[in-house]
Amino acid sequence: MKYTKMTDFVNIERADLERFLTVAITQIRDILNSGLNFSDNMSGKIIEAQFYQSNTDTVIPHTLGRVPGSYMVRGASAGITPFDGSNQRVDWTDKVIVLRSTGVGSVTLYLE
């Protein structure tokens, strides 16, 4: 659920403002109580990446539509840790990123 806002407060009557604030606060409470999701509230993408060798550049496709600014690890198998590839993000494009990992396995990444 996305929160929508009213932007014209200059000409609003006090009673209308109180009603608006009651509705707005209720919407915010409902959103927070139902949990915030990355996909609903941020402009990033969640992707899965497979690493077949440790400490080797791995090209990972994505559909973000732009060069990611960073990544966040949301989960990993076998205790592996991904890290920047040998060119330190120079090879990142609007379609792929290049990472290495400490071992063989898969990771779930959030690209932003």
Coil, helix or strand at residue 74: strand
What number of helices (H) and strands (E) belong to the chain? 2, 6
- CA distance readout (Å), 95 to 54, 67, 68, 101: 23, 7, 9, 20
Instruction: Give residue 109's pLDDT.
Output: 96
With a threshold of 0.85, does the pTM exceed it? no
Instruction: Give residue 103's pLDDT.
Output: 95
Instruction: From 50, 62, 22, 64, select the one nearest 107 (Cα to Cα).
Output: 50
What is the spatial distance between Cα 96 and Cα 85, in angstroms, rounded to a whole number?
Answer: 12
Residues with pLDDT less than 70, the chain:
1-10, 38-41
- Write down the residue that tokens 């999701």 correspond to: 37
